[in-house]
Structure 1
């Protein structure tokens, strides 16, 4: 079994830049630290350091072990902080990754129940590309990832996709742009300026297929990986844009947008991806149960 005391001595020395400096930080004799690292190398059957001139440098294996050690002791620090927070009555961190294709209003709708728990939570949100967020989930830097698609089978990440709900997709425009459109929906979309989600958005292909089925050829004036940026362009009148009908009322009330109509048969499903098959984290459970209460769905996939 791995000796974590020995690993900690290696980690300290590697971060300090050598055994002597590592010993100074630990308050031990260099011979003691050197002996602990030598014992670790013997146990693992590898060399962690190599002589480089008059100094020691990490071997390739040593760099790999250091990466793991960084993660191990980072998680240990988080555990200590979580226990201190709980005993002191402070809010526990809830680390959420939000894929940049998920509309911010949807993210808020899904996350809101986690803020009403008896045990207070401090939400730490990270927005980014889906693949990058899954990587952080795999090494436990995130508790959950919110996305518009389930965990891809090709991803070498152990995780489970929990479907939270599905929304129809509507088309929205500013009042000025809506007044300028000719005819009724959906014929009015033909030739109209359209803003599209980027290639990574799950709704893009079904939407384009629907336009083709309806024999509509809007003028695509922009494509956006970030849903908030697409909405900003739409609110400025650059073009009409698709959005989940779940937040359509909010778009019309707060942003003054006009609902033109829904793309028949085009839907978007939202997922909470976690490393747990059965949800045990209280905040993640609250998200799933909140989605079910609001009739957003709530089945579990994969």
Structure 2
């Protein structure tokens, strides 16, 4: 909401509808945007997940293209950008995560560290691979203990498409194993053996199939004018509903944080502070 911040500012609005027509506006903000060097636009998951998400993307894309801005999407999961780069999305006629978690949808449900999805309604035989005994593990019929990010070498892709390498700091505890080795062992037992026996062989295959993953610490850049957004449905217009964050409890956004006493205390303090501010 517009408020007295004790300093001068230009109020553009709190809702997504504020984006519409902004590119043709003659406001001071637009003048500064035109003069900016390397302007960028970042779309959050909270905006994309709304009913008018398609319209928001179109309005943001129009703005970005008008001013030659780079295009970024701020995801809420560390593995999501890399998964999209791999094409890890439902195929033709495939189910969404919500559909897969519904009762009667599947015979077998494999949760690979998937703790943010409500699977309580599912009656499928559930296999969970992950750490810290989080929500997904509570529903599982079989638990395959994996390794936390500190316990394995890994490749991660950030919001700007930059591939980053993480290195193991400590070994997994107990029966925990690195994720790739669990999947390799499962493939062998299922009679569909994967063609690698070491992490080096796996990465060689990854780099051959998806060369961008071999370009460590390189940001490809994403100029909005070069991105095809025609496949995104933009029926209707963006509404005036306020744009809200997709993160409700900042300190408890992942299994490691939720297993931390310190982070639980931080979340409690933050909740109390919000109540005090509201009063």
Larger radius of gyration: 1
TM-score (norm 2): 0.26
Q: Which has the higher strand share?
A: 1
TM-score (norm 1): 0.24
Q: Which has the higher helix share?
A: 1
